[in-house]
Amino acid sequence: MKVVITEKPSVARDIASVLKITEKKNGYIEGRGCTITWAFGHLVTLLEPGEYDSEMRKWRLDSLPFIPDEFKLKIIENPGVSEQFETIKRLCQEAEEIVCATDAGREGELIFRYILALSGCEDKPIKRLWLSSMTTDAIKEAFKDLKDGHDYDPLYAAAKCRSESDWIVGLNATRLFTVRHGRLASGDDRVLWSVGRVQTPVLAMIVQRDDEIAKFRPKPFWELTTKYRDVVFKYTGDRFEQPAKAQELLNQITGQPFTISAVTGKQKKEQPPQLFDLTTLQREINKSHGLSAADTLSATQNLYESKLVTYPRTDSRYLSADMKPRIPKILEQLKRIRAEQIEPLDPAKLPFTKRIVDDKKVTDHHAVIPTGMIPGSIGANEQIVYDAITTQFIAAFYPVCVKKITTVDGESVEVKFQAKGTQVIEAGWSVLFPKKKKKKKAEDGTDEEQALPVFEKGESGPHKPSTREGKTKPPKAFNENSLLGAMEAAGKLVDDDTMREALKERGIGTPATRAAIIETLLRRNYIRREKKQIRATDMGCCLIALIQDPLLKSPEMTGEWEEKLKQIERGEVQASDFMGGISDYTRNLIESSTSGKLDTNRIGDCPLCGKDVIKGKTAYGCSDWKEGCTFILAAEYKGLKLTKNQVQVLLQLRVLPYPIHIEDQLRLLLLSTQHDLMDIDLPSADRQKSEKDDGRPAKKTKNPPAKPGAKQPAP
């Protein structure tokens, strides 16, 4: 008997329908010598520390680091899960061959292999069903071409490393920071500080951006422009830091003629947009429709399971060469809903450029494209995502968009100005994208899209010069679009497609997990949404301030770890080497964090300027106060008294974000200065929630466990 294991019941039903297997049983479908059963996502998880050693149920610094010699597995505690696992286990033990039909990626492989291991069936013959779409043809073709399951051993090794490394870093770091910094100054409540290998660097990026915004001090500037024949010309020199200099030039040219000194034009070709990978799709949908990354992934997954688009969890924007024959057929099918858009394309002469087809840039899965099946009644989010994927797919085969960029130079009394305008010569692919409302003109009135009349070199006439005062602007707060871009490029905000592609190999997380990472931080109250912006909460700021180890919150370091996991997938790096590095890092983290001592001879550094903090009669303040530094920390704040030792902890361990906005934040930061060991006995659900950082959203339950940090004052 052959047993097929899928990740979800719906996928099992689809495969059974294609294979004409119809006899439904409790937890599986059978017929024609084949049994199809299913998981509910993850059925198996790693043991908790207390299940290795009962002493580990108590959270103590002297028990860290805890790194099991061998990781062990257990069934997730849920009656329905337990019953389904026993069904799968029995079927696997009776099977002659087992087929892995879970999602074709890292997590899907882990789900299957963990089930296999806990069932005691690792020595059974295994095959791999590798699907990029759920259409009937794709399923039939994949079953004809089943792969040897052990060809995917490196993928399993990478998935296992991801799971175990998140467990090691998350468990040890969470316990470390909770034991050391989880005691509040008043009362017996404790804060559970959840730290993770992936989530913490993402939080650090958000905190750093918010900090840059908070510390930003706008500087005034003045700009000089003039209007000639209703076109705004901008002074070509630098902006003025003093109004007098701008006024001097304004006086010089006022009443003087304006002369056109040069008119140049050049054509610019804009290539069609590339196909979507998941992250680019999420960013585009967030930008155009405001959907969260999690909502976009959910909608795309639903479209995939409805056979409307190909596999969504991909990091490639290219197709493989063997897909070329399928593309004309897909376009032909799409004519039923996009006839006008597809009509200009010749299916026999599609431009399969390197921007579309490149085998070297397709790993596990190609770009997300429509399958050609026509949607019936689908949800609003699904319709938005489907339309975007379909339009992008059609546009990829359209001609380039040709624009003419005209630059007009002018001068008045040797003061030089310039204006630019853009004219579309051949719309090409851009006809498929409705023109967005023009952005408001810059405050100086310039607009590179402004329509330019015909100018002749040497012409001259009156003009209207003017100056305006402006102020420099702070960096923009993250929104979901820009945060996904930063995660994709390991913290480097890059807009250029080519550069972003080069940096992608060192991104934080994977396309499949980035949305879940953001949702995890939201759920743990470390970040919040403010309209379209994503900002750190006081809890999030405090956690990042508590973490002294730069590697634990380094996007670049996490990007390197993710790259190592990809190298393991490709068989280029040994899993043992990666895990050895994770274990060494964790030991160093514990050792360095528990050996830190305060300098009792000094109070600390000013959070604003870095100078020494001194004690006054009623408050602590910056020693550089005569030069204008405004940092002050009252010794008593609304009934909360700070000892000198507590101030030293706050400043020397740099856990004091400044300015203090609310009383609750200061209360949260009045940490215990006792550095002796203390016991914490937290509920099992809290331990499980805090120690695991696998990038997958938590299951919703009727009575969810208490959230980390639930006892702390609300920010």
Q: Which residues are catalytic?
A: 311
CA distance 126 to 132: 20
Rg (CA), the chain: 30
CA distance 643 to 640: 10
Give rounded-to-5 percent helix, strand, coil for the chain. Answer: 40, 20, 40
Closest CA to 391 of 413, 422, 368, 409: 368
- Residue 433 host element (H or E): none
Q: Residue 479, SS3?
A: strand
Closest CA to 327 of 367, 377, 280: 367
Q: Let me know how long the chain is.
A: 715
CB 57 within 8 A of CB 40: no
Largest Cα–Cα separation, the chain: 96
Which one-letter DSSP state was computed for residue 357? Answer: B
Termini Cα distance of the chain: 58
CA distance 218 to 211: 15
Q: In what order do the strands lie in the sheet with 97-101?
A: 23-25, 28-31, 34-38, 2-6, 97-101, 126-128, 147-148
Peptide bond into 697 cis (omega under 30): no
SS (H, E, C) 605-642: ECCCCCCEEEECCCEEEECCHHHCCCCEEECEECCEEC
Structure tokens at 117: 């291991």
SS (H, E, C) 12-64: HHHHHHHCCCCEEECCEEEECCEEEEECCCCCEEECCHHHHCHHHHCECHHHC
In 147-284, which ranges are E strands?
147-148, 220-228, 231-235, 258-270
